[in-house]
Amino acid sequence: MEVRIVAPLTIKPEFVEEVTPALLAIVAASREELGCLQYDLHREIGSTNSFVFYERWRSEAAIDQHESSAHFQHFVSQLDGKLDKIEIKKMKVFA
């Protein structure tokens, strides 16, 4: 069953320029994954450091593969200590 993820994150202002290439790289790499149906990154209007990932995956197994991939693990390491906050919500269509 399809699973969606909404993940808002706020980057510490002093790290936005440094982290931006990592954000773009994870989008490109994730879109190539077999189980990925959609992987978009949005920036909040009027903000330079507030982003939201919107993802659609074929299944929980596809998410598990994504989270264990080398490119995802590298991405996580690049964010270490550079975020003010992150929230990850996994969802299934309700109606």
Distance CA 89, CA 13 (A): 24
Distance CA 92, CA 43 (A): 23
Closest CA to 5 of 91, 72, 86, 69: 91
Q: Is there a contact between 1 and 59 (Cβ–Cβ < 8 Å)?
A: yes
DSSP code of residue 81: T
12-46: pLDDT as tens digits: 999 999 999 999 999 999 999 999 999 999 999 99
- The predicted structure's pLDDT at residue 45: 99
Percent of the chain with pLDDT over 90: 100
Going along the chain from its start, the domains and CATH numbers come out as: 3-91 (3.30.70.100)
Average pLDDT over the chain, rounded to an integer: 98
54-63: pLDDT as tens digits: 999 999 999 9
